[in-house]
Amino acid sequence: MANVVIMPRQGQSVESCIITAWQKKKGDHVNEKDILFSYETDKSAFDEPSQFTGTMLEILWNEGDVVPCLEPVCIIGEEGEDISALLPKKNADAAPETASEEVKETPKAEAVATVSESDGNRVFISPRAKRLALESAVDMTKVVPTGPHGRIIERDINKALDEGFVATQEKVEKFLKGIVEAEETALPKEEKAAETVQAPAAAADVHAYTEEPMSNVRKVIAKAMHSSLSEMAQLTLNSSFNASALLAYRAKLKSSGEALGLGKITINDMVLFAVSRILPKYPEINANLIDNTFRKYKYANVGMAVDTDRGLLVPVIFGADKLTLSEISAKAKELAGKAREGKCSPDEMSGGSFTVSNLGSMGVESFTPVINPPQTAILGVCCTTNRLDAEGKVYPAMGLSLTFDHRAVDGAPAAKFLKELCGALENFDLLLAK
């Protein structure tokens, strides 16, 4: 009996997955637990093992396709088995492709990026440009037509020469035999005048661009950020603290901490530690707001924004308030590594009660972080800047930016949270003693 393999749903928030590679092809024998295909969600990458033994009878999606979760992906059964009843129905509204279907031709001026000998289109060249091409032995395959109707004019030859594109005389003559010489008298007066003046070197490139589809992870990020900004009443408070004690403790850890088996503890780890200790005191901030219902967490499940090649991901350190500084540091490194490799599971990317986004290492002095829905707040960590205290002494001030959802959190408790956090970081050695 034939069996249909569906696209798994890796987490409740996942709506679709991208097939990245097929490990089996149609007609291959499949054993149970053999990997059928590899796929990725907006956050992680997976391999799909077979639950059946048989023959790959049909593959319903190609590599690179975005497949909705729980949709059929392939069919496994006995060789020669009738699977017509299992095949997805074609879209009845889709018009079949026919040979007589009209195809709109792209204008030559836009379609031709470079002229090639294999181009079947008729390309015209002005007599002046043709003469210069023969005299200079320019590589005609690199010439970009900028004249009317895709015509090669003198400035196009000059530009190719300026960029160092040259060829043998024989190749130039052979190429010119395949294009049509335009009549000099047919050129408008304005074009003749233009040919006598060489255009700036970048004239043909100022409108150049490339296009690429938005990735699946980018779509998810865009949707979440748009939803966040359009559905929440977001407000940001900015403050700073004297980071002397924090930096001194970090220097001490750097010089001897690793020798004591503490690992490489960073400033961000220390901020995460301080946040985890203050957060449970503020239930509205350590919370999610879902359909007008507060989900107030008992523990600090702190999300940490991680910049990856696939986009911004936010793995969560669960129960961070129950972990030591060293344990938070180790967990943060583990999750950041998995996020960059695309190996975080959906469970590791959801359920956060609060998020920390650190741009301090990039020299950002202040910014407005966007809340990660359905959380009610997010902390932005900035770089240190030198300031003067009341006695005129220079000290390193580190900035913090707290964005909160004003529907869920009032300004006063948000300001108190930020003030207490600044105090804890300013006296980090005392915080560790609690």
> Closest Cα partner for 140 from 123, 109, 127?
123
Domain shared by 174 and 25, yes or no = no
Tell me: do 149 and 244 sit in the same domain. no
Q: Round to whole Å and give the CA distance between 90 and 368.
A: 47
Residue 345 lies in a domain: yes
Whether residue 224 is contained in a domain is answered as yes
The enclosing domain of 402 has a CATH number of 3.30.559.10
Structure tokens that stand for 386 in this block: 């030198």
| Helix and strand element counts for the chain (H, E) | 11, 20
The residue among 86, 120, 136 that closes a domain is 86
Residue 135, pLDDT score: 83
Asked whether the bond before 374 is cis by omega within 30 degrees of 0, the reply is: yes
Provide the residue range defining the domain that includes 71. Answer: 3-86
Are both 16 and 123 inside the same structural domain?
Answer: no
Is residue 61 included in any domain, yes or no? yes
Q: How far apart are CA 422 and CA 411, in angstroms?
A: 16
- In a domain? residue 220: yes
For residue 203, the model assigns a pLDDT of 56
The DSSP secondary-structure symbol of 401 reads: E
User: Domain boundary residue among 160, 195, 230?
Assistant: 195
The identity of residue 100, as a single letter, is: S
Go through the chain and tell me how many residues it has: 434
Query: Could you tell me if 356 and 303 are in contact, meaning their C-beta atoms sit under 8 angstroms apart?
Result: yes
376 and 232 housed in the same domain: yes
User: Same domain, yes or no, for 121 and 170?
Assistant: yes
Residue 203 within any structural domain of the chain: no
Residues 223 and 268 in one domain: yes
> pLDDT value at position 100?
36
Q: At which residue do the structure tokens 């030591």 appear?
A: 324
Q: Both 55 and 127 in a single domain? A: no
Sign of CA dihedral 164, 165, 168, 173: negative
Q: Which of 86, 119, 140 marks a domain boundary?
A: 86
241 within a domain of the structure (yes/no): yes
Q: For residue 80, what is the DSSP state?
A: T
For the chain, how far is it from start to end, CA to CA, in angstroms? 64
Same-domain check for residues 282 and 426: yes
Number of compact structural domains in the chain: 3
Q: Shortest CA distance to 267 belongs to which of 245, 286, 285?
A: 245
How far apart CA 224 and CA 242 sit, in angstroms, is 34
Give per-residue pLDDT as tens, 27-39. 999 999 999 999 8
Clarify whether residues 259 and 369 are in a common domain. Answer: yes
Q: Are residues 267 and 338 in the same domain?
A: yes
142: tokens are 């690199």
CATH number at residue 73: 2.40.50.100
The one catalytic residue in 29, 149, 226, 406 is 406
Q: State residue 90's pLDDT score.
A: 52
Between strands 302-304 and 354-358, the pairing is parallel
What does the block give as tokens for 414?
């948000």
pLDDT tens for the chain, 434 residues: list them.
899 999 998 766 677 888 888 999 999 999 999 999 998 876 677 889 999 999 999 999 988 788 888 999 999 999 989 998 898 875 333 333 433 333 333 333 333 334 433 344 556 787 778 888 888 888 888 888 877 667 788 888 888 887 778 888 788 887 877 765 544 444 444 444 444 445 455 556 777 888 887 776 677 778 788 888 998 999 999 999 999 999 999 998 888 766 676 778 999 999 999 999 999 999 999 999 998 899 999 999 999 999 988 788 899 999 999 999 999 999 999 999 998 888 888 889 889 999 999 999 899 999 999 999 999 999 999 999 999 998 999 999 999 999 999 999 999 999 999 999 999 999 999 999 88
- pLDDT given at position 148: 62
Residue 16 covered by a domain: yes
227 shares a domain with 82: no
Half-sphere exposure of 129 (CA within 13 A, CB side): 35
333 dihedral zone (left: phi>0; alpha: psi -120 to 50; beta): alpha
Task: Provide the pLDDT for residue 140.
Answer: 86
Instruction: Say yes or no: 319 and 417 in one domain.
Output: yes
pLDDT reported for residue 102: 37
What global pTM score does this model have?
0.62
% of the chain with per-residue pLDDT over 70: 82
DSSP 374-402: TBSEEEEEEEEEEEE-TTS-EEEEEEEEE
CB 419 within 8 A of CB 401: no
- Is 406 a catalytic site residue? yes
* 43 falls within a domain: yes
